[in-house]
Amino acid sequence: MSDKLIFTGMLAIAVVGAYLGIVGVSNVLGASFDLGDLAPSLSMNATGATGGASGFLASAASVIGGASSHEASRFMISFDNLKNIYPAKLNLQGDIRIYDVDVYTHTSPEILMVSTNRGLYYSDNTGLTWRAVKTPQGEITTESVVLRVVPVDTNSYLVSVFQNGVGFVYYTSDMFATLQRLVYFADEGVYDMVAYGNTLYLAMSNGQLIQYDRVKETFRVTHTFPSPIVRLYDNKDGFFYALLKSGVLMQAAGPLGEYTKISVQKGWFSSGSMKSVGFASSGDIYALGKEGLYRSENYGVTFDLIDNIPLLKKQIDALAVSGNVVYIISNGRMYISTNAGGSWKLQDNIPSDFGVHQFYFLGGGRVILSE
């Protein structure tokens, strides 16, 4: 066998091995990947004791920078599913990054929460005016990075805060008058949370998915991914999804199932990178990739590119799905499909100087668009 042929064969094996190492998943605490330098570790437990094998620990800058966010201080608000929209603004000077917008629907549907790099803000008039949340013991101030707020029950929230190099998860049952600290992590932030009764699943900045038992006050790492987990989706279709910072969407049969990578394009060299995803009530998955908008009718097994959108410019800036209605923003214009992408209607009522980055559908016809 010639040296050239041997070299070619070794190169092919090396490339395939690297690919499998990049997309691999582990369910062992601190376990290494084929690319061992990527193996993260649990940095601090509920009582403050360190644990886990050695690996990278994120710095404060990387925790903040790794979270899914966008610069914004202006919002557009609609009360009738985007037929009419109105301006609103956070009254802050300087740079502000928005990590999430949440609505409290249990007793006061007009209350909105905005998580930012400069604290937590709330509105009790559906977003027309905003006020800062400042807790009595200083757990949340305008110097805190609030990554996520998850409504749990009447007046109850889970909140993820990154402050002074430590990531905290708090629980409040009295609208932030008092906070109960559940768990904290040195140098790591909690980017998202999903609650199953007394069990929480935490999406970590170091790529770990952590299961926390609120009754026993114990937790364990269930999976480790090679990229920060920016969002968790319990889609009620029998599957659980984790969106990674790298643009990879992972799917499992429940949060403890075996995770597999979902790609919009198939093949060894397909990156499968997704900017954002949306889930329709029908079970269809929509993904915004490098080439445009994709749709899957079989829970992510295969995707088809939707190429009939009458775009003026070949770019899609934002995607949202509410019910079975699909919304996209392209070059400052909004396109809406009510038939799974079969046809599109242009709704051109967004100000030309407002660059939409994210939709937040809050129920009752209320929608927030943020820059």
**pLDDT reading at 105 higher than 70:** no
With beta carbons less than 8 A apart as the criterion, state whether 316 and 324 touch.
no
Cα 142 off chain centre by:
22
pLDDT at 147: 92
Domain ranges of the chain: 3-73+92-228
- Indicate the pTM of the whole model: 0.76
Highest mean pLDDT range out of 87-101, 257-271, 343-357?
Answer: 343-357
b/e code 293-325 from CB counts within 10 Å (16+ = b): bbbbeebbeebeebeebebeeeebbbbbbbeeb
Task: Please tell me the distance from the alpha carbon of residue 233 to that of residue 250, in angstroms, as a whole number.
Answer: 10
How many C-beta atoms surround the C-beta of residue 143 within 10 A? 11
**Distance from C-alpha of 110 to C-alpha of 129, rounded to nearest angstrom:** 11
CB contact at 8 A, 148 and 119? no
Stretch (H or E) spanning 15? helix 3-23
Spatial CB neighbours of 270, under 8 Å, sequence gap ≥ 6: 263, 264
Picking from 119, 96, 72, the residue whose alpha carbon sits closest to that of residue 359 is 72
286 and 293 Cβ atoms separated by less than 8 Å: yes
Nearest to 255 by CA among 198, 209, 299: 209
Q: Which residues partner with 171 through β-bridges? A: 158, 180
pLDDT of residue 31: 24
What φ, ψ does residue 194 adopt, rounded to 5°? -130, 130
pLDDT of residue 212: 93
294-319 residue pLDDT tens: 999 998 888 899 989 888 777 888 88
Q: 49 pLDDT exceeds 80? A: no
Under the banding of pLDDT at 50, 70 and 90, the label for residue 146 is: very high
Read off the pLDDT of each residue in 251-257 and give the average, rounded to a whole number.
89
Considering only the C-alpha atoms of the chain, give the largest distance between any 2 of them, rounded to a whole number of Å.
Answer: 76
Spatial separation of the C-alpha atoms in residues 113 and 104, rounded to whole Å: 8
Q: pLDDT per residue over 53-98, tens digit each? A: 223 345 556 666 666 655 566 777 888 888 888 777 666 666 777 7
R_g (Cα) of the chain, nearest Å: 21
How many whole angstroms separate alpha carbon 267 and alpha carbon 276?
21
* Separation between Cα atoms, residue 274 and residue 227, nearest integer Å: 14
- Lookup result for tokens 């029908």: 282
- With a CB cutoff of 8 Å and minimum separation 6, the contacts of 5 are none
Q: Which amino acid, residue 88? A: A
